[in-house]
Amino acid sequence: MYTAGIDMGARSVKVVFLEELKVEGAPQLKWGVKKTHIMFPEDLDMDVAAEKAYTEALQLAGLAREAVGRVVATGAGRKQVKFAQDNVTEVSAGARGAVFMHPSARTVIDVGAEEGRGIKAAPDGKVVDFAGNEKCAAGAGAFAESMSRALQLSLKDFGEASLRSEKTIPMNAQCTVFAESEVVSLIHANTPKEDIAKAVLDAVASRVCAMARRVGIEEDVVLIGGMVHNPGFVRSLQGALGVDRVLLPDLPEYVGALGAALIAAEIH
């Protein structure tokens, strides 16, 4: 029997099917067998997009709808997934998925495009403590992305450029608008791009770190969300947290959907 986790974002849907295998009488969850990431246009209604994406995901996975016993949705648009039997917040799904992938993880840092959050998780992946920042977008991926555009670098080159810098330029602004003007001043002062890139990523890391401190940093720390792909950010985060290592899951974008599928399996 399969369960499905659907991470419904503003523009994309990620679907993970989880298969429960009986191994010598004990149920063992196997994942990663089927997963799909589908983008949808902005003007498509979310409930329509969810249905479309799920149908496509089933087809790609070669699964019949009846093969899936339970569907749990997560993500900002989770309530629009009408065919899901339940929905859970990104906090619970992220923690559950991250601890499943890295069982030693106790602090989960989730940096998505629009939001960052720090989560303290129990060994079973349940949330013990969490903190987000409802106001400040400077602790999230979209800020890094817009700054990379200001430097005319792709996000990938932006992250790599920052790795070539050893300079620390503090950015004091607490909101994206002022932070952007600080970046513009640095550009006008002919500051090397790599130093600006590092300053921006250090600033995002320091904001994310403040949220993690609120819940208490307990190792191991695992980072989930799109910023996993940014090696410059990972280095900045490691420095800000003062830890030797930050664990990185193989498929960071799917951690939420995986967590939802795991929760679906547990309540199945």
Partner 1 sequence: MIANYGYKDGSGEYYISIDTDKCLQCPVEQACTRACPKNMFEIITDDYDDQVAAIKQAHRRTLAYDCTACKPAGGYASLPCASACTAGAIKHSW
Backbone angles phi, psi at 10, to 5 degrees: -70, -35
111 near partner 1, rule: CB under 8 A: no
Within residues 162-191, the interface with partner 1 by CB under 8 A covers: 173-175
Identify the three-state secondary structure at position 234.
helix
What character string, x for contact with partner 1 (CB under 8 A) and - otherwise, covers 81-100? Answer: -------xx-xx--------
Spatial contact of 128 and 42, defined as CB atoms under 8 Å apart? no
CB of 23 to partner 1, least distance (A): 27
Q: Which of 131, 199, 204, 227 binds partner 1 (CB under 8 A)?
A: 131
Q: Which of 8, 84, 136, 140 binds partner 1 (CB under 8 A)?
A: 136
CB of 49 to partner 1, least distance (A): 23
64 contacts: CB under 8 Å, gap ≥ 6? 58
Q: Does 161 bind partner 1 (CB under 8 A)?
A: no
Residue 126 binding partner 1, by CB under 8 A: yes
The one segment of 13-21, 56-64, 122-130, 228-236 that binds partner 1 by CB under 8 A: 122-130
CB of 220 vs partner 1, minimal distance in Å = 20
Closer to partner 1 by CB, 88 or 151: give it.
88
Which string of x and - marks every residue 14-33 that binds partner 1 (by CB under 8 A)? Answer: --------------------
- Contact stretch for partner 1 (CB under 8 A) within 26-34, 121-129, 145-153, 225-233: 121-129
Instruction: Give the residue with the Cβ less far from partner 1, 63 or 176.
Output: 176
DSSP state of 168: -
232 within 8 A of 197, measured Cβ to Cβ: yes
Among 5, 97, 116, 132, binds partner 1 (CB under 8 A): 132
Give the helix/strand (H/E) hosting 228.
none
Q: Which two tokens stand for residue 251?
A: 């498929």
Q: What tokens were used for 59?
A: 């087809």
Instruction: Give the residues across from 121 on adjacent strands.
Output: 127
Site for partner 1 in 184-223 (CB under 8 A): 207, 210-211, 214-215
53 vs 81: CA distance, rounded Å = 10
For residue 159, give the nearest of 113, 201, 209 by alpha carbon: 201
Question: What span, in angstroms and rounded, lies between the C-alpha atoms of 94 and 107?
Answer: 11
Token match 């060994």: residue?
A: 123
43 lines the binding site for partner 1 (CB under 8 A):
no
Count interface residues toward partner 1 (CB under 8 A). Answer: 24
Q: Which of 10, 226, 6, 11 is nearest to 111 (CA)?
A: 226
Return the beta strands (E) in 24-164 as ranges. 26-39, 68-74, 86-87, 107-111, 116-121, 127-132
Give how far the C-alpha of residue 179 lies from the chain's centroid of Cα atoms, to the nearest Å.
Answer: 23
Nearer to partner 1, 133 or 148 (CB): 133
| Residue ranges in contact with partner 1 by CB under 8 A | 88-89, 91-92, 126-136, 173-175, 207, 210-211, 214-215, 263
